[in-house]
Structures are given as C-alpha cells and as structure tokens.
Amino acid sequence: MSSATASGPPDAAAALTVVDAGDRRELRLSGRLDSYSIAGIWPDARAALTAAPGRLIVIDASGVDYCDGGGIAMLIDLLRQQRAASASVSLFGLRPQFHALLDQFDPAAMRVPVEQPGARINVIAEIGRAAAITGRDMRAQVAFIGETAAALWYAARHPARVRWKDVWYTCEQVGVNALPIVALISFLLGIILAFQAAVPMRQFGAELFVADLVGLSILRELGPLMTAILLAGRSGAAFAAEIGTMKVNEELNALTTMGLDPVRFLVVTRILAALLMMPLLALFADLIGILGGALTMITFNIPIASFLHEVDSLVDVKDLLAGLAKTPVFAILIAGIGCLRGLQTQTGASAVGISATRAVVSGIILLVVVDGIYAFVYYLLDI
C-alpha cells in the first residue's frame, strides 16, 4: 500500500444518515470514523441530537468499518449529552473491538467541564505584583553589584586566579567579531552627520565647519554611545543567553556545588573582556566615523586633508578622552547587566529569550541614564 493521502487507507468515508421513525430518531453511522473524516459529520450528528430534545435517540453503528480514538470521541460526545430519561441516547451495532475502546471511557465523567486555571486579571493585584517584582529586582541588582565588585576586587588582588583563557576568548567574541558591525554603523553615522549638516551650512558658505561638528559629536558622544548600544545588542544579549542556557542546563548548580562562585567564574571574565575591548572599539568607531564624514565632504569640494586639519585645529585630545572615559563604565554596565539577566533566568524554553531581551532593554536604559550623568558632570566641570 502506498497511499499519498493524509487521510489513511481509502475505505468508505464517514457518513451519517438521520432517520425519524415514530417517536425515535435513528442516527446511522457508517464507513471509516477517524480523526480526519469525522470532522464533516460530527457537527451534523450533534445538531440532529439537539434538534430533537424530546425524542429517543438510537445510534446505529453497524455500518462502521473502522473507528479510532477520534471516532470514539464522537460517540462519547453524543452519549454524554444531558437528556431526559424518556429521550436517552443509546448505541448499538458497534463492533466488539471498537466497543472495547469505548468502554475505557465514562461518558458521564466527560460532562464535567475541564478546570482551566483562573485567567481573571485583578488590576490592584497586578500593580502589587509588579511593585513586588520591581522591588525584588532592585534588591537583586544591588546584591549583584556587591558580589561583582567583591569578585573584581579579588581578581585585582589575585590576577593569577582569573581565568584568562576565558577572558581572551570572550575578548574575541566581544571585540574582534564586533569590528565589522561597529565599522558599518559608525561609518554610516559619519556620513549622515556630515551630509545633514553640510546641506544647510553650505547656504552660509560654512561647509568647512562640518568637520568640527562631526569631529566633536562623534568623539565626545556618538562614537562611544553607538558602540555601547551595539555592544549591548550583541554581547549583552549573548551573555544573558549563554549564562541563561547554562542555568537551564544546571551548569550553574554544578559550579555552585563544586564550591566555585558563578560570579567569579562567569561574570568576572566577561566584565574584564568588555572592559578591555570597549575603549578599543570606541576608538575604532571614532576613526571610522570621522573617515565617513571626511569622505562625504569630498562631494562638497572639501579635500580630506582640509577636513582633518580643521578637526585637528578645533577638537582637542581632551574631547577624545572625555568620550573614551565613558567606555569603561559603559562596558561594566552592559556586561554586568547581561550576566545578571542570565543568572536570573527562569526555567522553560522562552526563559532564555526573555533574559536576552531584558539584558538589552535594561542595558540601553542604563546607558542613557549614565550618559546623561556624564554630560551633566562634564558641563559642571567645564570639560
């Protein structure tokens, strides 16, 4: 037999005939009753039953060639209907081997509706729950900051005990592998900045000052910030997913029972790698961004040499350092929050995804907050 249909061997399809004889109604079933073929007759059979509430119902199943669990379910459905004694439903003619299947079930028990878990939403309870969760989360963050700081301090005093192999490996993941995307985004940023500024400034013959605008904004602000956002999207999410998967696989429990601190083992290496790579990536982003601006200005008849000279004359090393000074803090934030979300992973298939999402979202929020604080402090200190 090599049938290519999804409905099994080609027996006679399921069929239903309703015959009214005096005060009783006969439902004659025939053919093959399986999950695929009964879909056509099940609603009709149920309708025939409910349309005759006062009559005796007899189901004649002597014409049934084959009956699987689906067919049995249909018979149970018809037999379980709540009816008056004078209008009961009875069944005859079902072959013994199928009747044995039917006997495993009690139609009366199937009348009781399935208990679904309560899905009602109480606004006040939800607000309370959200507040409690937020409170717990903040506590966890404070505790995590403490643990991480202790572990980093330990690492600083015992550099030999840091797992440098893991650090270098993570450096490659976080730093080297991020170069293409960082280059792409910062190059685009330089082009867009330069072009958007050059068009209005040309009206005043001030195209040359685009160089200052691009140089300052990329070095002080956008280079480090865009790199940090990319890092949050790439590596923050990756840290959360890696550690989350390890948690789901009980690898974290294994570390703990071996007496190894997951924070020292997993978090410190990742924070160190991010700390090492983030300033380099930001510097790289600065260079590529300015290059993008310079190339754009060629189309406005400003040679690269003049562009760079203009950048050099106005932009100071101080500006470069002001930008780069943010990167260690960004790195600790992103790597830390990624690891924290990973450690907080719950069980289940969607848990790792949720952790990665939360790592990116909280990472970016913290970046914005910290960058604002930096801007304020720089303003006060007149840097």
Partner 1 sequence: MPADPIISVEHLTAGYEGNVLMRDINFTVNRGEVFVILGGSGSGKSTLLKHMIGLYQPIAGSILIEGDDIVTAEGAARRAILNKIGVMYQSGALFGSMTLLENVRLPLEEYTALDAAAMDLIARMKLQLVGLDAFCGHMPAEISGGMQKRAAIARAMALDPMILFLDEPSAGLDPITSVELDQLILRLAKSLRITFVIVTHELASIYTVSDRVIMLDKRTKGIIAEGDPKVLRDTSDNPWVRQFFRREVAAEAA
Return the number of the residue (51 or 127) whose C-beta is nearest partner 1.
Answer: 51
Distance CA 178, CA 230 (A): 8
Contact 269, 151 (CB under 8 A): no
Which of 54, 347, 381, 382 lies at the binding interface for partner 1 (CB under 8 A)?
347
- 10 sits near partner 1 (criterion: CB under 8 A): no
Residues 6+ away with beta carbon under 8 Å from 105: 72, 76
Nearer to partner 1, 305 or 349 (CB): 349
What letter represents residue 35's amino acid? S
- Partners of 21 in beta bridges: 24
Please, which residue, 42 or 330, has the CB nearer to partner 1? 42
The two tokens of residue 210 are 């685009």
Q: Which contiguous run of DSSP H or E holds residue 111?
A: none
Q: Does 35 bind partner 1 (CB under 8 A)?
A: yes
> With contact defined as beta carbons under 8 Å apart, do 367 and 330 qualify?
yes
Q: Which is nearer to partner 1, 36 or 209 (CB)?
A: 36
Which of these ranges, 263-271, 292-300, 347-355, 368-376, lies near partner 1 under the rule CB under 8 A? 347-355
**For every residue of 292-314, which 3-state class applies, written as one string?**
HHHHHHHCCCCCHHHHHHHHHHH
Pick the piece of the chain touching partner 1 (CB under 8 A) from 33-41, 251-259, 274-282, 292-300: 33-41
350 binds partner 1, rule: CB under 8 A: yes
Q: Is the Cβ of residue 98 or residue 374 nearer to partner 1 in the bound state?
A: 98
Instruction: Please give the residues from 53 up to 72 whose contact with partner 1 meets the rule CB under 8 A.
Output: 68-70, 72
Q: Using N-to-C axis directions, what is the helix angle for 210-217 and 268-298, rounded to 10°?
A: 170
Among residues 335 and 352, whose Cβ is nearest to partner 1?
Answer: 352
CA 136 to chain centre: 22
CB of 358 to partner 1, least distance (A): 17
Q: Which two tokens mark 356?
A: 């990665």
Smallest distance from partner 1 to CB 83, Å: 17
Among the residue ranges 30-38, 165-173, 278-286, 361-369, the one whose residues contact partner 1 (CB under 8 A)? 30-38
Is 2 near partner 1 (CB under 8 A)?
yes
Work out the widest C-alpha separation in the chain, in whole angstroms: 107
Q: Is 93 exposed, middle or buried (0-12, 13-18, 19+ CB in 10 A)?
A: middle
Nearer to partner 1, 27 or 332 (CB): 27
Residues 296-335 that bind partner 1 (CB under 8 A): none
Residue 378 sits at the vertex; the CA angle it makes with 287 and 146, to the nearest 5 degrees, is 90
Q: Phi-psi category of 17—alpha, beta or left, where left has phi over 0 and alpha has psi -120 to 50?
A: beta
CA dist 68 and 77 (Å) reads 14
CB of 115 to partner 1, least distance (A): 5
- The least CB distance from residue 350 to partner 1, in Å, is 6
Smallest distance from the beta carbon of 35 to partner 1, in angstroms?
Answer: 5
Binding residues for partner 1 restricted to 69-128, rule: CB under 8 A: 69-70, 72-74, 76-77, 100-101, 104-105, 109-110, 114-117
Per CB under 8 A, the list member of 10, 12, 43, 131 interacting with partner 1 is 43
Indicate the residue type of 18: V
Number of residues that bind partner 1 (CB under 8 A): 37
In this structure, is the dihedral angle defined by the CA atoms of residues 137, 138, 140 and 145, taken in order, positive or negative? positive
198, two tokens: 């050059």
User: Residue 203 interacts with partner 1 (CB under 8 A)?
Assistant: no
CB 292 within 8 Å of CB 188: yes
CB under 8 A: which stretch of 32-40, 129-137, 290-298, 363-371 binds partner 1?
A: 32-40
* By the rule CB under 8 A, 4 interacts with partner 1: yes
**Residues interacting with partner 1, by CB under 8 A?**
1-6, 8, 34-36, 38-40, 42-43, 68-70, 72-74, 76-77, 100-101, 104-105, 109-110, 114-117, 347-350
